[in-house]
């Protein structure tokens, strides 16, 4: 994908989210959610990626105003989570630091900036609104982001997308053909993935795991012939 197109998309996304912030303030709509309930349902789904771990590092790409950090603090206090947020909109980072003084969050674009490896990488709600990008441009951008996230994780990633099974579609939103997405995942990343479409929103949550993660979870000798 042409680097100039990526830069244009990132620049346009910054403008889109800054406009939402100016319009909605600290309401959930500023970060693309219709309500707190929508946000927390998404957080619940993407958190499945680490449900078998108790001590790990996590990178939250598109961290917005840091509310996933707050969610983790409330719901997973028994786990030792080393959280870091990556956000392309500087204004969101500033708000996140005000809301959560202990948060580690930076203005970072994972496609352009150096970033440390983390056990898990999550990307929640960042593929829903394509702005003025064409469908083909946005699809390629989304795929590059997913590939990059998988490169910088040690164990697995989780992200969500709007589903092509939605009963209605709003202008500017990007609905993914889930069949094509699964082929992309297996062809380019890993056959070890889950796709969860069993919750009320018109979207799906996908988790993808490294082979080493699967090996560590299924150690019985009977399974070894299935995992190269």
The pLDDT tens digits for 62-77 are 999 999 999 999 999 9
Residue 25, C-beta contacts closer than 8 angstroms, at least 6 positions apart: none
pLDDT, averaged across the chain: 91
Q: Which pLDDT tens digits describe the chain residue by residue (228 residues)? A: 678 888 888 888 878 767 777 766 666 555 656 678 988 999 999 999 999 999 999 999 999 999 999 999 999 999 999 999 999 998 899 999 999 999 999 999 999 999 999 999 999 999 998 988 999 999 999 999 999 999 999 999 999 999 999 877 777 889 999 999 999 999 999 999 999 999 999 999 999 999 999 999 999 999 988 987
Contact 68, 43 (CB under 8 A): yes
pLDDT in tens, 149-177: 999 999 999 999 999 998 777 778 899 99
The CATH superfamily of 3-226 is Vaccinia Virus protein VP39 (3.40.50.150)
CA distance 58 to 65: 16
Cα 29 to chain centroid distance, Å, stands at 17
The residue extents of the domains of the chain are: 3-226
Residue 198's Cβ-side half-sphere holds a number of Cα atoms within 13 Å equal to 3
Tell me the backbone φ, ψ of residue 106, rounded to 5 degrees: -135, 155
Residue 206, C-beta contacts closer than 8 angstroms, at least 6 positions apart: 158, 159, 160, 161, 181, 185, 193, 194, 195, 196
Query: Would you list the DSSP string of 197-219?
Result: --SSSSEEEEEEE-HHHHHHH--
Q: What is the pTM of this model?
A: 0.92
């Amino acid at each position: 994908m042409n680097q100039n197109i990526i830069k244009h998309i990132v620049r346009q996304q910054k403008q889109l989210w800054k406009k939402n912030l100016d319009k909605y303030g600290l309401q959930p709509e500023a970060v693309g959610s219709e309500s707190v309930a929508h946000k927390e349902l998404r957080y619940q789904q993407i958190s499945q990626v680490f449900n078998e771990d108790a001590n790990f590092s996590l990178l939250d790409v598109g961290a917005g105003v840091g509310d996933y950090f707050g969610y983790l603090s409330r719901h997973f206090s028994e786990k030792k989570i080393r959280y870091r947020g990556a956000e392309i909109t500087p204004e969101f980072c500033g708000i996140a630091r005000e809301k959560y003084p202990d948060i580690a969050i930076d203005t970072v674009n994972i496609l352009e900036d150096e970033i440390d490896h983390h056990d898990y990488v999550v990307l929640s709600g960042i593929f829903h609104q394509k702005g003025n990008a064409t469908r083909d441009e946005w699809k390629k951008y989304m795929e590059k982001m997913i590939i990059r996230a998988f490169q910088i994780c040690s164990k697995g990633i989780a992200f969500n997308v709007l589903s092509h099974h939605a009963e209605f579609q709003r202008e500017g939103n990007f609905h993914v053909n889930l069949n094509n997405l699964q082929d992309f995942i297996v062809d380019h990343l890993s056959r070890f993935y889950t796709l969860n479409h069993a919750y009320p929103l018109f979207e799906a949550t996908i988790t993808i795991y490294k082979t080493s993660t699967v090996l560590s979870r299924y150690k019985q000798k009977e399974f070894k012939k299935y995992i190269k």
